[in-house]
Amino acid sequence: MKFEDSKYYNNKTFKKIVLKMGVLYISEDYCVSEINEGIQIGIEESQEVIMNLVNFYGENLIIGFVSNRINSYSINLREWLKLTNNDNFVINTAIVVYDDLNYNAATIEKELTKNSLRRFHTLNEAIQWIINLK
């Protein structure tokens, strides 16, 4: 399910940021990402996401991040983790997966990050978990 089709999209004011790699929906409470099909997320793409989060939330990020994986794409985990596993970031991540392959990839991410990360099969469950963390 796309975030704009969810019940949560109209409940809050979101800043919609359209990037070459996909879309970020940022609110006071959490951020939802939807990455485009076939994208390879490397250091530049990771830095672009982090820059947008820092611009919105400030230097010391403490956020809930929902990765809504409606499309197939790949992540260079080493580069992403270099940026997010630092002391200035506390990112509680909910990854929404729609098939077993992406569930397994999210399991690997979970093992490698020092931040809280949970996997979900529905967008509603993921957002509710992020909301309940507050």
Two tokens at 75?
């992540």
* Residue recorded with tokens 């978990």: 129
Distance separating alpha carbons of residues 47 and 52, to the nearest angstrom = 9
Rg, the chain, Cα only? 13
Contact 88, 53 (CB under 8 A): no
- The whole model's pTM is what? 0.91
pLDDT 10s per residue in the chain (134 long)? 999 999 999 888 899 999 999 999 999 889 999 999 999 998 889 889 889 998 999 887 778 999 999 999 988 877 777 766 665 666 789 999 999 999 998 998 888 887 889 999 999 999 999 999 86
Pick the CATH number of 3-133 from 3.30.750, 1.10.150, 3.30.530, 3.30.43: 3.30.750
Q: What residues does each domain of the chain span?
A: 3-133
Torsion sign, CA atoms 13, 88, 110, 102: positive
Secondary structure of residue 131 in the 3-state scheme: helix
